[in-house]
Each structure stands twice: as C-alpha cells, then as structure tokens.
Amino acid sequence: MKKTVFTLFLCGLPLIASDNSSHWMQEIVTEMKKVEAIAESVKMNEPYQPYIVTVFLGKDLERIGVSNLQEALELVPGVDIATDNMDNKRAVFRGSNPYAYGQSKLFVDGVEVNDLFFDSYGSFLAMPIEMIKRIEVTRGPGSISDGYNAYAGSIHIITYGEHTIDNELSADRLVAKVGSYNYLMGGFTKAYKDGDLSIFTDFYYQKDDKYLPAGPDILATGLLGQDNTPLAKEGEAPLWMRNYALGLQLDYHEVTFRFRTTYNERGSAYGINGALPNEDDHAKFPISYAELSYHPQIGEWQTFIKAGIKESAFKSSAMLLPEGFIARVPLPDGTLAEVIYPDGFYGEHVAKLRKVYQTSYAKYSGIEHHTFNIGYYIDYIETYEVVTKTTDRVTGVGITDYSESYPFTDPNAKQHTYRLFLQDRYQYNRELSFQFGVNMERVSNISTQVNPRFSIVYQKDRKNIYKAIYSRSSRSPSWQELFTINNRARVGNPELNPEVVHAFELAYIRKWSVDAFFQLNAFYLQNSDQIDNINSDHIYQNSSESDIYGFECELKLPIGLHDTLYANYSYVDGQENQDEPLSNSATHMLKGFYRHQFNESIDYALIGKYVGSKERAAYDSRESLDAYATLDMTLGYQTPKKLSLRLSIKNIFDADVKYPSSPYNYDNDFPQEGRSVMVTLTKVF
C-alpha cells in the first residue's frame, strides 16, 4: 500500500479534493509525512514489514503478570529457553543449536548488548518488564539489512526513553516487587525535557535467594574418572541473584547519547565443570556501554553516524571440584602424575574484554518508489585483563597465580570486524513491494561471509498481507569458543568456521484491526557448521548440520469490550546430520494468555504454556525429556491515580519444569522453579 493510503488509514482522515483546496491539501500531505515517519520509527506498521515479527507492549505484559524479559520471550511463537552449567540462559529460536549463545542478538534502544565473552544476553533476561515499553521479536535473520547478522532471530527492547505520538504513556514511574525465594525489586524511570534537551534515565535493583534441587552431578557419569565417581553430589544448586542496572539517554537536536551499565552476580548454579558448587560460590557478568550518535536529515538523505564502546567481563570464584578429587596432571617430562586435592580444586577466573566500534549509514528516498539503506560497521575487540588463580595443580594444596603461566583464556586475543551493507526497498505499486539486501562481513582469521536477503510483501488489501523471504546469515564463533585455553571442560578452537543458515519463510497475516490479527508462517532452515563441544576432548568444533522445518500460527483477538485472547502454536521438526532426529527441541509448543477486565479498577489474567517433549541427541542414551504445562494467574487493582497493585501466582499446579542438560553432564537435567508468588506495586506519574 502506498504510504499516503496507510497514513490516511492511521489517522482516520477523509480524502477530500477540490479546486480551491490545494493549499489545504498540501498542508495535510506534509503533516501526513510527519506522522508516517513517526509511525515507522515506533514500528506501528510491523505487519507490512518484510520479516516475521511478534510485538508485545510492556503495559500489556504488566497487566497479565509477566515479570521480566525472559517470561515475555517464553510467550513468543517458536522461542524456547535453554541454560547451561552456569545458568547462563538463552533464547532458542525454532530449535536451532541450543548449545550456542550468539545465534540471536538483543538490542536495547538500538544498541546491541550481547556480552563479549559468551556472546550472550543472559544478564538482560532478568530485566523487569516495568522498564520496557515495547518488545519486538524477529524470527529468522531479519536484522541482516541493518548491518547485523542475527542468525536465528533478533530481540529489540524499547525503553520509555522513546517518545510517543500522543504521549499516552508516561515515562515517569516507580515500581516495587516482593516474591518467593526472598525476591525483592525496586526501580524507577524518569524523563525530563527542557526545550531541545531531553533526558531519560532508568534504574532497578533486584535480588533473590533461590536454591533448587539438582544432581547427581557430572562426577556420577564417570566422565571425570572412575576414581571420582564416589564424590558425586546432589543437593541445592545456588541460583541466587544480585542484579542492578542504570540507563541514561540524552537527546539534543540531532545528537543522542546512550549509556547503560548492568551488573549481574549470581550463584555458580550447577558448577562450571559440572560439579555441584558450594552455596556461596558465584559468578559475575557486568556489562557497560556508551554510544554517541549524530543523525541529521540532509535533503532526501537520513544519515546516522554512531561510535561507541562496550566493556564486559566474566568473573568466577568457586570450588570447581570436590574435596578428595583425583587428577592426572602432566609433568614437564611428559609423564602423568596422580594428584589428590584434599580440600578440593578452587578457582578464581576473570576475563575482561573491551570493544570499540563505529558505524555510519544513510537512508535515501530521492528515487521514486525506492528507499536505499547503505552503510558500514567496524569494531575492534581485545582482552585487556585475565586472572587465573587456582589450587596448586601439582601439589594439590594452596593457591597459585597462573595468570601468566596457565591462563584460562588467551590474554593476547584480539579481533577486528568489518561489515558493508546495502538494501533497496522497492515499492512496485500500492500492493506489492520488494526488498533486497546484502551484508558482507569479514572477521579476523575467518573467511569473508556474504549474506544476501530477498523478500516480497504483497498486500492484497488493508487486511490481507502475504510475505515470502529468503535469507542467508552467519554466526561468527564467540570469544569463549575461539580463545578458551587450559580448561578441561571447554577447549577453544581458533580454526572454527562461522555457523551458516539458509532460511526460507512464507507468511500470511489477516488483520481485523490494530489489536486483532491472525498470523501464519512456515519456515525451512538449512544449518551447517554448527558449533558445540560435545565430544570426548570438549573441543569446540563445527560438528553438525541440521534441516529444520515447521510453522507458527499466532492469534490476538479482543472479545467484547473487556476481554483479550492471545494464543500461538509452534510446530518444529527436522533432522540432524542427515538421518538423526532433531535434539533438545520441542516439536509442539502452545502458549497464550486471556485477560478479563471486570471494571476500570479490577482485572485478572491467565497465562498458559505447553512445551512438548524433547528428543535426545543420537549419542545420548537418556530417555526423552518430558513435556510440561504451566498456568499462571494474576489479579490486578488500579486506582484512578494510576497506582496499581498486582498479585501473580506462577506455575499454579507446581509442574515439573526442566531444561535439558548436555550429554554426560547432569543426567537428571536442570530443574526450574515450581510454584511461586509475586506482588507488584507500580505508580505512574
């Protein structure tokens, strides 16, 4: 549909033309272009865009009892959650390599926030939903045209620093929460405007004291030596959390400055090496970034010039192996010596990384029916501090500093990335549009990747939309996968190739109104060179390939004036290595919520999720991981002065929820929390 037709529909204006109204009509057209630009910037026209996307508003998620970003992602079609021994959670899109972290990218107000060591955004999954204005989740490599390779999907968080068209949503709020496991949270968002200067800040602090049953641990498998099997333990895994974040955004004319620091400390979960840790063992995952951007409009050119710095770290202090552990340690003469660690094997590990980057791109609409996007991206990443202190490896007693002689990650590792990207959006007529983009990426010591993307959007009318998309994308190996050394549980491999996916997608959208729609999409994914370290030597390798296919359907439907129904169903199937079943992926997932508003003050909501059983890998002899179903309930009360109180009961029926462990690890997988309670108090000003 032509832009003016869309804008008229958006604004609800009649189209009137007469000989004496040309000046009046010109003013209307000018205003329509302004409104349309705002609509594009706040993604109000997502159904017409050339990708598969799900959008949730923060205020809607608050009302149904969603607590944080992770719970929001659990509602997205085709998205599941996986974890590891450090409880470094990640979103898994359409069953694609649950052992990889960086297959999806997380952006906060346009800034990519995956950490530099794991390429993970686990620290942000606990971000309270009250800090989030909107969440946009693109399934498939939908961000390729913006210069990023979002291999399996991308997640865009928009905070209340974004300006709205009608200022319906205030950016000023206070929030407090209490819940199970001694959970406490407090935070605020605040906006200030003085002429051309706008300032927005948000802050939150949260903590809990969560311990969950786990085990027997990895020692029970005999993988760490039959002599150590009697040392296997089961008990309470320390999953406690201490988390805070501060964000700041300043806008002045055409200049924007963004800063955010996030600190996440948590218990050592299931143990870095798979041995159940002590209750006070912990790991820290701080991330901070600052970005300055200049975005002038020059004629038909909308330009963006950005530069930034990001620092992240991995810090661990934990008992890695239990008292009495027996190891065979290589001596300088090449022989092996048996060493007993009477007090266990303790380790302190720190890796600090820094990235500086600069990107510039421009959007040009000076040629009729075309919108071009062209730009480049460069960055430089380095390790600037490594600490490795462990129990003396030879004597078995005392602490020795191995930071120089035996570091756990390459202290001299450096990496450059260069990208060029080009996109053309061609509006053939009011019904049909095409988009072609290509993203060329060169990473140090890795072959150049050329990732094209082509899409067609056919809008039969305002209510019926069809899409066809082909894209290729790649995921470069993470720092951990490349540069981990001197570690028996994880062995880096600088010779790794990028993971590659060819994605084919079809979609149909039926829109009844802004708040009512049905979306059906089918996909076929060809994945190659997938990376994991599931082998006897624990070396990261390009070890597998997979063909994945399926479909997702999504329905949102207001019922009368007081009820809303949202539901989606996902089917995912495929093969690994040509003849093996797709592992650690639920074939069937059904999710949704129902909200009823009794009156202007009182409402309630139900959230239901079903995640089907998961087949094991061909080399894993365990039975399939059982399916589970959960039901959450929230009761809310809001006063006319915008003070709201909500009581949420999660997993009412105390379902047995488990995330799969990797083979030869915790045979009983990673149990998650059962029934829990959350009380939320929010004041909007």
pLDDT at 48: 80
What are 140's two structure tokens? 């498939």
pLDDT at 537: 83
Expressed as residue numbers, the domain containing 191 is: 42-684
pLDDT tens per residue, range 322-367: 999 999 887 767 788 899 999 999 999 999 999 999 999 999 998 9
Which stretches of the chain drop beneath a pLDDT of 50?
Answer: 1-44, 164-166
CATH number at residue 156: 2.40.170.20
Q: Are 191 and 142 in contact (CB under 8 A)?
A: no
**Residue 334 domain-assigned?**
yes
Question: Model-level pTM greater than 0.75?
Answer: yes
Q: Are 130 and 62 in contact (CB under 8 A)?
A: yes
> Which residues contact residue 423 at a Cβ distance below 8 angstroms, ignoring those fewer than 6 apart?
145, 372, 373, 374, 435, 436, 437, 438, 453
Task: Tell me the residue type at 138.
Answer: T
User: How remote is the C-alpha of 502 from its chain's centroid?
Assistant: 21
d(CA 672, CA 656): 8
- Nearest in space to 627 (alpha carbons), one of 609, 611, 606, 603: 611
pLDDT at 45: 63
d(CA 222, CA 234): 15
Neighbouring C-beta atoms of residue 306, cutoff 10 Å: 20
**Residue 336 domain-assigned?**
yes
Q: Are 596 and 619 in contact (CB under 8 A)?
A: no
**Residue 424 domain-assigned?**
yes
Q: Are 150 and 142 in contact (CB under 8 A)?
A: yes
Angle between the 3-11 and 22-41 helix axes, to the nearest 10 degrees?
A: 90
**Residue 35 domain-assigned?**
no
**Residue 11 domain-assigned?**
no
**Residue 7 domain-assigned?**
no
Q: Are 218 and 237 in contact (CB under 8 A)?
A: no
Q: Judging by beta carbons within 10 Å of its beta carbon (0-12, 13-18, 19+), is residue 365 exposed, middle or buried?
A: middle
**Residue 223 domain-assigned?**
yes
Domain count, the chain: 1
Q: Are 570 and 589 in contact (CB under 8 A)?
A: yes
pLDDT at 168: 53
Q: Are 171 and 201 in contact (CB under 8 A)?
A: no
**Residue 61 domain-assigned?**
yes
Q: Judging by beta carbons within 10 Å of its beta carbon (0-12, 13-18, 19+), is residue 18 exposed, middle or buried?
A: exposed
